[in-house]
Amino acid sequence: METLTFQFPAAAPGRGRTLVGCVSSGDLEVLIEPGRAGQLEIQVVTSVNGSSARWSQLFQRLFDGRTLPALKIDIHDFGATPGVVRLRLEQGFEEIGHD
């Protein structure tokens, strides 16, 4: 198990909380809640050691050209593919009302 932390610039704090996915299904779960103004914080707990570069590239592609609210995102990964990670994050953003 490895714990990774990422930070990105963000706008005002987001509103609402959501949980999408289910780690016990062999997938991953994403918990999104309001964060500190100006900061998007992501913590990833993953079963895949040495995957920091893959996660960093995925977040860079996902957030490029987007202004997201300040959020705290916790991801519990059980070896999900980048496509599933993106799907779960998009579902979470939709749940809290931010596209």
Residues of the chain whose pLDDT is less than 70? Answer: 23-26, 98-99
pLDDT at 4: 96
Phi-psi region of 97 (alpha: psi -120 to 50; beta: other; left: phi over 0): left
CATH code, domain with 43 = 3.30.230
Overall number of domains in the chain: 1
Q: What pLDDT is recorded for position 23?
A: 67
Give the per-residue pLDDT at 25: 64
Based on its alpha-carbon atoms, the radius of gyration of the chain, rounded to whole angstroms, reads: 12
> Are the CB atoms for 72 and 34 separated by under 8 Å?
yes
Residues 24 and 27: their CA atoms lie apart, in Å, by 7
Which residue range(s) make up the domain with 51?
2-95
